[in-house]
Structure 1
Amino acid sequence: MPQTLTLPKMGCGTWAWGNRLLWGYDESMDAQLQAVFNLCVGNGVTLFDTGDSYGTGRLNGRSETLLGQFARDCLAPNRNSICIATKLAPFPWRLTRQAMISACDASARRLGRNVDLVQMHWSTANYAPWQEWPLLDGLADLVDRGWVKGVGLSNYGPKRLQKVYRRFRDRGVPIQTLQVQYSLLSTYPVTELGLKDLCDALGIQLIAYSPLALGMLTGKYSEKQLPRGLRGLLFKQILPGARPLLGCLEAIARSRHKTISQVAINWCIAKGTIPIPGAKTLAQAQQNIGALGWQLDSGEIAELDKAAARVPKTMVQNNFQTR
């Protein structure tokens, strides 16, 4: 059996790099992203999450390629603690367990190293449940072969999670992690689906992606200053009702001498999750790192919980999230 997978308290989601790569990759970003990576590792952020569908098409999995390069070139003293997680997409043409083994092998070649944590990117239960079981068997095969240190899932709800857990348990393969969209504007997986309690009972670590709600919880946007495109339309619908929550975040941030985003990320940590905020610049990485090394108290957490529960319109849930 492979060695036990050890996860840090906070990670860095390279989905941000993936989106940037998909929408016009510029090689001049490489040096900046390497600096971001080095800064994160040097400050104890050693979990990096990506996916084989990030930077696809003509870019040929560029996100994984860059991440592997950054890990090799990193000179931080704790570089040996780097944990690289990737998510394998259940594309329509992936139908067999061998397809997932081949996909992981391709990811490892792009990374230039073995994958530490391999994850199913999403469940096909909502549209093609028959496709999913062979692919999951392929993930378990990777653990049996010693190719990866652990296996995880992404966007699974409690009913589907328990079915997969039993199948893996029967093979003696533990599910290490479950990744879901979770933030003060997306509490649904925990408050309504009860995933945190279930994960705790099953010994699964919950990973929170999009902990800053696509940037809405940074405090930099308002109804008069919106991001472009579809994100701007979404923000326009949510921000008016989220004002009391942002005000609560701002008050706590001021009293703590922190930023709004640092308080929002720290809240995710306080809830027992590993948040994976994206970072493309040194300033963003430094902001994220500032969420570490301190803790919100129970009163502050309760205030944020109440403010979040009163937001009338929250983040749209991932279409692939199962129940």
Structure 2
Amino acid sequence: MSVVELMKHSIELKVPLAIGTLQWGTTWLDDKVVNHHGNLSDETCRDIVDICTAAGVTLYDTAEGYGGGTSEQRLGRLFEASPPIFMTKFLPAPWRLWHSDFEAAVRASCQRLKVDCIPIYLLHSPVHWCRSIEYWVEAAALCKKKGLIQAMGLSNCNADQVRRAVAAGERYGVPVICNQVHYSLLDYNSKALQEMEATCRELGVKIVAFSPIGQGLLTGGLTTEKWQHNKPAKMLRLQWDDIQPLRAKIEEKAQKYGKTMGQVALNWCIQHNVIPLVGCRSVEQARDSVGCLGWSLAEKDVRDLDQVALSKSTLESPRWRRLLFVSLFGVVMVVCRTMDNLGLGNVVRS
């Protein structure tokens, strides 16, 4: 699987792996709240990019809300000479009501990323207080006609929302080519995820898996202290004992293949024809992540892991919780953007 083509589209990836940059923001708020160990240095980010580029990775994920756009700015600086395939996102905050709001966000992301056209522009959440998903797909189609985006993607959409978005894309004239969701061995056997996956397969929508290793839950470095602060564990309402049979099975496969647990969990995603999206904060994490490439779990080992996968999905979150997330994230985005405008948007470590 050396080349992954998204929905028979012109956007091609050299390898089925994406790099996430949620923690690449540079504001004071990122330094003190988002990134518990402080913001990444420019040198570390360059080293991560060099490792990923050498492994053939061409897909980088960001969002206007990551550091209020400072994550996008950093990617724009790093790739000014030769941009990779960028995925970034529009946040449907409550105060955003019109197609013009969508277009303004696209143009601002283009400016920060230093590109004229964004390859894949995602709707960060399918929920809004009063606008339908079809309304935002129409906005994306208008931006595509103006040459501002190449294709549209989704994020956190269930089966019904994927189907509606694809139908709207066909109606308005913009390809809806991917759905970025929480997809891992932590939730593979949930009904909502299985339905979403089947719908995406049917409609040719590529699944991009965020938190494919559960932010450390499925790696060898998990400790009880890290467990207490793990966000996926809280989101999925997991207990420590819930994950032990799964972790034991992953460790068994890791020893069999001479790989790390994280590499096994990522390769499992790839064997399901899913693009794992990994957040890299260090050179070590980058090296471990690209180690999921160039080999394959045997079909029996994939099925063994399938059988012990858990079944609690974020796609089952109630609407009110999603609306609250978008609203709070929108406030954080505005605060970070204000800090950046006030000159507090470049807090990086040496």
TM-score by length of 2: 0.79
Q: What residue number does 1:200 align with? A: 201
Task: Tell me which of 110, 117, 120 is aligned to 1:117.
Answer: 120
- Deviates further, 290-299 or 166-175: 166-175
* Runs of 4+ in structure 1 over 2 Å off: 16-23, 25-28, 127-136, 188-193, 225-239, 314-321
SS class of match (1:263): helix
Partners of 1:63 and 1:236 in 2: CA distance: 29
| Rounded Cα–Cα distance in structure 1 between residues aligned with 2:25 and 2:228 | 18
Match of 2:99? 97
1:13 aligns with 2:25: no
Please list, as runs of the form range in 1=range in 2, the aligned pairs for 1:23-34 lying within 5 A after superposition: 23-24=30-31, 29-34=41-46
Structure 2: distance between partners of 1:180 and 1:189: 13
Residue 42 of structure 1: aligned partner: 54
The structural deviation recorded for 1:23 is 3.0
Residues 59-92 of structure 1, C-alpha deviations (whole Å, 9 max, x = no match): xx1100001111126xxxxx56x10110110111
In the other structure, the counterpart of 1:128 is 129
Within 1, Cα distance between the matches of 2:167 and 2:231? Answer: 38
- Counterpart check, 1:266 vs 2:267: yes
Report deviation, 1:208: 0.5
CA shift, 1:28, in A, is 6.3
Larger RCO, structure (CA 8 Å, separation 6 or more) = 2
Unaligned runs of 5+ in 2: 1-8, 33-37, 324-350
Matched, 1:4 2:4: no
What is the distance in 2 between the residues matched to 1:188 and 1:107?
36
Is the Cα–Cα contact under 8 Å of residues 117 and 150 in structure 1 kept in the other structure?
A: yes
C-alpha spacing 1:18/1:268, structure 2 compared with 1 (3 Å):
farther
Q: Look up the match of 2:4.
A: none
Question: What amino acid is aligned across from residue 300 of structure 2 in structure 1?
Answer: G
Q: Do 2:181 and 2:207's aligned partners in 1 also have CA atoms closer than 8 Å? A: yes
1:183 aligns with 2:184: yes
Q: In angstroms, what is the RMSD of aligned CA positions?
A: 2.7
Query: 1:21 touches 1:54 (CA, 8 Å); kept in 2?
Result: no
Sequence identity, in percent?
28
Shift in Å, 1:132: 4.1
Secondary structure at 2:105's aligned position in 1?
helix
Structure 2 residue 287 is the aligned partner of structure 1 residue 286: yes
TM-score scaled by length of structure 1: 0.85
- How far 1:303 moved relative to its partner? 0.8
Deviation at 1:128, TM superposition (A): 2.2
